[in-house]
Amino acid sequence: GENVEQHPSTLSVQEGDSAVIKCTYSDSASNYFPWYKQELGKGPQLIIDIRSNVGEKKDQRIAVTLNKTAKHFSLHITETQPEDSAVYFCAATNALTTDSWGKLQFGAGTQVVVTP
């Protein structure tokens, strides 16, 4: 099955700097890669996702890049703000087969702390 590794486990950045979180996956058939943000005491919130037919996707200060050859994908947050402080999870799945659909394999998470 799919295995997703996420690095780093913790990330401290100064407000205004950029943050980058990297994930690698093992199953070359995976084709959907979402990122979730989880604030303390809340459920994970989908912030951006990318499908395997796209190399990069941006949404304001957030971007995700995908390298299918190397089997890794990254989350980039620019101009970080204190409200970006949270735990971020990457995930992967093959969304087009009934055996694996819905079975998101999550990374272990990255605690991001943005200091003013």
Partner 1 sequence: DAGITQSPRYKITETGRQVTLMCHQTWSHSYMFWYRQDLGHGLRLIYYSAAADITDKGEVPDGYVVSRSKTENFPLTLESATRSQTSVYFCATGPGLYEQYFGPGTRLTVT
Interface residues toward partner 1, by CB under 8 A: 32, 34, 36, 42-46, 49, 51, 89, 91, 95-96, 101-104, 106-109
Instruction: Name the minimum Å distance from CB 77 to partner 1.
Output: 20
Give SS3 for 45.
strand
Phi/psi of residue 84, nearest 5 degrees: -80, -10
Which residue's CB is nearer to partner 1, number 79 or number 101? 101
> What does each C-alpha distance from 94 to 32, 85, 112 come to in angstroms?
6, 29, 27
Closest contact distance (angstroms) between CB of 68 and partner 1 is 17
